[in-house]
Amino acid sequence: MDRYDPPVVPRRLLLLPGVLLAARALADAPAPADYWIHQASGNVEICPSMRSCPDDGLLRRDVDTGEIVLVTTCTIDGACFLDECVPAGTYQYGLATPYACVVSGAYWYRTATVEGAPPACTRTFPAPEPAGSVPWSEGEQICPPTYGNHSGMSCGCASGEKVLGMQGLAVAAGLALAARRRASRSGK
Amino acid sequence: MAALFPGRRLRLAIVSAVATSATHLLMHLALPQLVPAAWWLLAGEAMALAVEATAYALAGRDLARALVASGLANAASFAAGWLLLG
């Protein structure tokens, strides 16, 4: 009854196992510790993944002047930071207390180019206070994703080789167990 | 799974779907609270391997086949992710 009959099975269905495998494998990788930035009329919303506003504040560094301010104002739902009436320029936005490294990768900051607030822009919160320094130097990334990272234990994360090695050991143990059982049966 | 448990295909298919879903949820919802991020992947894959092998062994009444099935299925899944994301 359940005999496989290739001509009857639509070819698309043959792709299903591969699609399911890929979906499972892709879903094994969590979202990176990253920022989503949205701007409108000089107001910038910065939404950090896995953390929420106000946390320990968000730093904004002007790439051209080096000026740093601490943003502590939040959107109504508290999911994002709200930076109001931002002048035109290119800015780095990153959490004052940076992300810890995770297997899916983590970012110190993300860069955004702001078109600038219109002259009529009015604040609903006080302007951000100046801050001393940022915890990052060069490069947005704290650590790259290590899921399938061939270089091994970068950022302290488990490597793909170790995971595949462990799975290979399970297969080897199963085969050894089966061989031993077969040998003991034939010895009787 | 069908090749390794030819006489119990339906039962193993159901057990496999339930076990994979359970380990997947555990890995993403519970494990991040219990294990440091640096060890999340290795600990999660080890947990999935062990839980799924146990489930297959109980359903298929064959530990050797269960270990091979769990090891191969998880390795195939992980390798697919490696190829797609690496």
pLDDT in the model for residue B37:
66
| Tokens matching residue B33 | 């609270």
CA distance B85 to chain A (A): 7
Domain ranges in chain A?
Answer: 11-29+148-186, 35-143
Is the pLDDT at A22 greater than 80? The verdict is no
| Interface membership of B18 toward A (CB under 8 Å) | no
Spell out which residues of chain A touch residue B75, defining contact as CB-CB under 8 Å: 164, 167-168, 171
Residues in chain B: 86
Q: A41: distance to nearest CA of chain B, Å?
A: 36
- Asked if this assembly's ipTM is beyond 0.85, the reply is yes
- The reported pLDDT for the residue numbered A152 is 38
Residue entry with tokens 């094994």 = A28
B54 contacts B3 by C-beta, under 8 angstroms: no
Q: What is the mean pLDDT of chain B?
A: 87
Higher-confidence position of A81 and A24: A81
Q: Answer yes or no: do A25 and B32 touch at CB < 8 A.
A: no
Does residue A55 have a pLDDT over 70?
yes
For the segment B39-72, what is each residue's pLDDT rounded down to a tens digit?
A: 778 888 999 999 999 999 999 999 999 999 999 9
Residue A132 clears pLDDT 60, i.e. is over it: yes
Which of B40, B67, B84 minimises the CB distance to A173? B67
B17: contact with A, CB 8 A cutoff: no
β-bridge partners, A110 = A93
Mean pLDDT across B15-22: 94
Query: Cβ contacts (< 8 Å) between B40 and chain A: which residues?
Result: 102-103, 157-158
Q: Do B70 and A170 touch (CB under 8 A)?
A: yes
For residue A58, what are the β-bridge partners? A71, A95
Residues of chain B in contact with residue A162, where contact means CB-CB under 8 angstroms, are 42
SS3 B70: helix
Residue A33 per-residue DSSP state: B
Distance CA B65, CA A177 (A): 9
Domain locations in chain B? 9-85
Distance between CA A42 and CA A85 in Å, rounded?
5
